Amino acid sequence: MDSLSGIFPSNVIVEILACLPARPLVRCRCVSKSWRSLLSEPYFVTKWLNRGGTSLLVVPLEWENRDKCSLVFESVSIGKENLTLPLRNRLFSLSVVGSSGDSALICLTGLSYVRRSASKLAVILWNPFTGEVKALGNEGFIYCHHRPLCSESLIQGYSSGCCNQYHVHGFGYEPNARDYKVVRITYSRGIARPGDSLIRPWHVEVYSLRKDTWTSLGRTFFKRMIRGNSRAFVNGSVHWLTSPTEDAPYDSIVAFGMEEESFGEVIELPRLESLSQFSLNPRGKATLSVSCGSLALIAFGIWNREECGIWVMKEYGVAESWTKQHHIVLPIGSTVRGALGLTGHGKILLRMIDEKLVCCDVEDMQISEIGIQGGSPESSFDVIDLGGGDPTLRNQAGRGSPLTVLNLQ
């Protein structure tokens, strides 16, 4: 920097360095002591993390690759980097529940084999910036009569006919208590064999990271069907699409408030005339996401999976404020298996029928391949948007991990 300062002002050099991707930036630390000092400054790291690009963390769901994640930068063409998820247990079928606002804490669920008809469910908190992993204990079970490693209910979000029990989760932050929480709803058929009784919500639990305990809320008055984990934390609550019965299409949204630790009022979906050409059948892959801090609904066409609509609730809790923000028509042959959410930079992540992960700009509908190829039709990866964060920098800003800081306060 000393030699360049006579050519470029120091603020210009900082702007140039802040635009570099992770690997060249790390190499720049070896140029001189002054560069190493600059690149270690918290203000520079914060500036780099908040640059225009977005990093996507791709979590593999297959056992063979279960400890290898991919880090992909959306707007910087550096390809992908591998990031190891340091799991001690033999977990498979990982699924992302949610993440903290700064992506310093990611909540995952996973299964481990127990015996022929049962798998054990684990809930994990992971800080990708420090490598810390915390298993939350109180492990539940999924009982399946047809196969020993049934992951359909956990990952795909369906109540498959072979399972007597499954769980759905939500993850969020309570600012007043400065506490991260996980809510788990257990659905069960009791002791009846599949087909003999309806599956229904049976039990609700909440985990507090500050207290490091699970609290049972007991049997719940909540009777609606939820399929899959919540990916929409808005207004202090986690949200799920719901239906009145096991086989019915989605007809509303239910919210669980982290501060109150209770279910709120049911939120209405956009008006039926707005949704007339879109499918709300659970197997149609309609899902909830977050767009610029607002609740968003993603739904696909009834007759084809090349058409997608995105609605945003402009005023939280007000059904009349639902606005159809985007109508995406993909090129013919670009059949979508499911949406994995929206990024913070106006793009939708899609898992295609050929198991490729692609990113589609909601404004110009330009599709770009991310470079991830799944190997199985049964949900081969999950994705979380880390914003501008890059775990390979290993917390150079000196931030403490929520896994340790919260428990020391």
Locate CATH 2.120.10.80 in the chain.
52-408
Given a contact cutoff of 8 angstroms between Cβ atoms, the answer to whether 330 and 304 are in contact is no
In terms of Cβ atoms closer than 10 Å to its own Cβ (0-12, 13-18, 19+), residue 331 is: exposed
Q: How sure is the predictor about 399, in pLDDT bands with cuts at 50, 70 and 90?
A: very low
| pLDDT score recorded for residue 246 | 77
Higher pLDDT residue, 196 or 148? Answer: 196
Phi, psi of 402, rounded to the nearest 5 degrees: -60, -25
Cβ count within 10 A of residue 252: 16
175 pLDDT more than 70: yes
Q: ∠ CA 394-397-401 to the nearest 5 degrees?
A: 65
87 pLDDT more than 70: no
- Rounded distance, CA 311 to CA 25, Å? 39
| pLDDT score recorded for residue 397 | 39
Mean pLDDT estimate for the chain: 76
pLDDT, tens digit, 9 for 90 and up, residues 345-377: 778 888 888 878 888 888 888 888 777 777 655
- The correct CATH number of 52-408 out of 3.40.50.300, 1.10.150.20, 3.30.360.10, 2.120.10.80 is 2.120.10.80
- Comparing 48-62, 146-160, 386-400, the range with the smallest average pLDDT is 146-160
- Comparing 54-63, 93-102, 179-188, the range with the smallest average pLDDT is 54-63
pTM of the model: 0.79
| pLDDT score recorded for residue 358 | 84
163 pLDDT more than 70: no
pLDDT, tens digit, 9 for 90 and up, residues 177-218: 889 999 999 887 765 555 556 777 788 999 999 999 999 997
